[in-house]
């Protein structure tokens, strides 16, 4: 019996060791705090995938009826309906100074583009003019589009347009305002913008309920307000709070970072600088949040808000980590930043810290952490099912040439076990199974040894037991004794 106990003990030890390894594989606290268990924690990694469009710039529309695809453009305005359809209006093409009046929609789930012609549903007076850097916002089935002329309403159901020409007050015609769409409340917020002559610093609110613009005045003459600027990046949180970064002022690009609270109608300046000597960004280590980090001055960056309410920003035209001094020139950026709401700090989460960087397209439709969309400004950006999408803009193509783009990118944050982790789990399993089999074999052989007197084994283990078995006794009496014949020479007894 001693043999069996020893093996049971070994078995239990093997079992508990195996389960410890198993716990370590899940990244929970474990007694095995070695290098291996550090490596096995769950890891969240985001990666870009080049979904569609060309890796070369200055592309024409593809209009064949099937698999239509929009040509290159930048400065288009966009909105999203409740079915996950993204609509894109206007923008500008390569080599033309006149804006576009094209309306496209993208069914994001199926990556299916549609070109929407103005049909007879709308007279030419009712349809919006070509528009570059327009502001737009959707509410239910209606969309407001504001830009170079008047304010227009688009009905997504019927695809018809209406001009709102009898508005009592309205922002003056302009392009490249910062705008925020609160599609839950039906409010379009709009700050600044530009014409060819000037920049603006006025702040407006359009409500779908009243179909009216209202100018938002600061609550007192001592309130701080952002400078006049255009092409600033904008984010709106579900709380209704607005954020704005950078933009171009009369004195150059800025990295001014503002927050506006609709409740107090006050702006708060969170950080920021202006001027060539102060415009370089501070990147720190990629992926490490720090109060010392901040993006450089820029305009025309792409923006998103993630699930956690963090602000995300990609590229734009501006300054990298190096640009300093009187001769510093802005360049196209491909840096990817996150403003973490919980810590109120910036973190550089991807892309390059140098302007005018080389894009990395990778394989089409395949996420890869090494992929980097080309540097660009004024692309279209939108979120869909926790994915961040990016389309077009003015930037660099795969040949590093300046051009207008029509590439479509998707960034996804994937939480999964690292390859080392899965390997370790299966390794643990294999070890467990192998040890079980081994133990079984040993136990079986011990049993066999008991029945077959496996002495060698017992001698080796030094466990030679007191002999408990009964040696087979040969009953001598049962053995027939050979008859002893008297020698022949003995005289028979008569
Ligand atoms: C638009 O109207 C013109 C003339 O009124 C007509 O010939 C044409 O077929 C109409 N187009 C559509 C798409 O209804
Ligand atoms: C546009 O469509 C809406 C419904 O989606 C309708 O109420 C409206 O009358 C239409 N306008 C014009 C000018 O046809
Ligand atoms: C503008 O005109 C429309 C109809 O054309 C009307 O319903 C709306 O009340 C008018 N708005 C103003 C501010 O006059
Ligand atoms: C601010 O407004 C107050 C009254 O509301 C006025 O007395 C004061 O002069 C104003 N200050 C400036 C700088 O305009
Ligand atoms: C910019 O980044 C490079 C490499 O990441 C680094 O060597 C350099 O010191 C940085 N420059 C500034 C001004 O921070
Ligand atoms: C990815 O997910 C992690 C964990 O949920 C989160 O901390 C991080 O901010 C996300 N990154 C992006 C770019 O949304």
**pLDDT tens figures, 303-356:** 999 999 999 999 999 999 887 777 788 999 999 999 999 999 999 999 999 999
Q: pLDDT digits over 219-237, tens only?
A: 898 889 999 999 999 999 9
- The pLDDT value recorded for residue 14 is 39
- The pLDDT value recorded for residue 434 is 73
Ligand 6 center–CA 313 separation, angstroms: 14
Q: Is the CB of 169 under 6 A from ligand 3?
A: no
- The pLDDT value recorded for residue 41 is 54
**Range from 140-149, 276-285, 346-355, 449-458 carrying the lowest mean pLDDT:** 449-458
Ligand 1 center–CA 122 separation, angstroms: 11
Q: Is the CB of 124 under 6 A from ligand 1?
A: no
Pocket test for ligand 2, best of 160, 161, 165, 208 (most atoms within 8 A of CB): 160
Specify the residue with its C-alpha closest to ligand 1, atom 7. 120
Pocket test for ligand 2, best of 122, 141, 157, 158 (most atoms within 8 A of CB): 158
Asked if pLDDT for residue 276 goes beyond 60, the answer is yes
CA distance 70 to 448: 78
284 compared with 65, residue with greater pLDDT = 284
Ligand 5: residues with CB < 6 A are 280, 321-322, 353
Pocket test for ligand 2, best of 81, 126, 155 (most atoms within 8 A of CB): 155
Asked if pLDDT for residue 93 goes beyond 60, the answer is yes
- The pLDDT value recorded for residue 237 is 97
Specify the residue with its C-alpha closest to ligand 3, atom 8. 166
């Amino acid at each position: 019996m001693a043999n069996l106990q020893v093996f049971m003990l070994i078995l239990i030890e093997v079992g508990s060791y195996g389960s410890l390894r198993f716990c370590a594989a899940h990244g929970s606290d474990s007694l095995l705090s070695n290098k291996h268990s550090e490596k096995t924690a769950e890891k969240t990694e985001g990666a870009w995938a080049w979904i569609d469009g060309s890796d070369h710039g200055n592309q024409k529309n593809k209009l064949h009826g099937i698999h239509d695809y929009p040509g290159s453009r930048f400065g288009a305005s966009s909105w999203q309906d409740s079915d996950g359809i993204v609509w894109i209006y206007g923008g500008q093409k390569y080599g033309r100074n006149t804006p576009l009046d094209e309306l496209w929609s993208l069914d994001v789930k199926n990556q299916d583009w549609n070109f929407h012609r103005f049909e007879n549903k709308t007279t030419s007076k009712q349809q919006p003019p070509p528009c570059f850097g327009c502001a737009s916002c959707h509410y239910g089935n209606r969309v407001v589009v504001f830009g170079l002329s008047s304010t227009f309403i688009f009905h997504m159901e019927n695809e018809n347009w209406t001009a709102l020409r009898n508005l009592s007050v309205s922002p003056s015609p302009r392009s490249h305002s910062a705008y925020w769409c609160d599609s839950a409340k039906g409010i379009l917020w709009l700050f600044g913008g530009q014409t060819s002559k000037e920049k603006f610093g006025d702040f407006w609110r359009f409500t779908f309920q009243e179909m009216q613009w209202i100018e938002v005045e600061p609550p007192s003459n001592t309130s701080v307000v952002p400078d006049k600027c255009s092409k600033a990046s904008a984010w709106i949180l579900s709380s209704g709070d607005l954020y704005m970064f950078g933009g171009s002022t009369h004195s150059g690009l800025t990295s001014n970072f503002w927050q506006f609270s609709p409740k107090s109608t006050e702006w708060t300046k969170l950080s920021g600088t202006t001027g060539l000597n102060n415009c370089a960004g501070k990147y720190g280590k990629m992926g490490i949040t720090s109060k010392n980090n901040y993006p450089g001055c820029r305009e025309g960056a792409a923006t998103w808000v993630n699930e956690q309410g963090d602000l995300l920003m990609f590229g734009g035209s501006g300054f990298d980590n190096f640009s300093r001094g009187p001769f510093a020139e802005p360049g196209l950026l491909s840096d990817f930043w996150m403003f973490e709401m919980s810590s109120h700090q910036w973190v550089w989460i991807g892309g390059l810290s140098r302007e005018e960087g080389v894009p990395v397209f990778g394989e089409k439709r395949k996420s890869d952490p090494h992929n980097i969309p080309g540097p660009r400004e004024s692309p279209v950006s939108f979120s869909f099912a926790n994915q961040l999408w990016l389309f077009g803009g003015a930037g660099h193509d795969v040949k590093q040439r300046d051009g207008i783009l029509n590439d479509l990118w998707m960034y996804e944050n994937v939480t999964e076990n690292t390859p080392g982790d899965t390997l370790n789990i299966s390794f643990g399993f294999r070890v467990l199974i192998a040890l079980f089999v081994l133990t079984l074999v040993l136990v079986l052989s011990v049993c066999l040894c008991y029945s077959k007197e496996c002495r060698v084994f017992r001698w080796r283990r030094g466990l030679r037991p007191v002999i408990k078995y009964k040696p087979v006794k040969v009953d001598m009496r049962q053995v027939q004794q050979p008859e002893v014949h008297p020698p022949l020479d003995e005289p028979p007894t008569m």
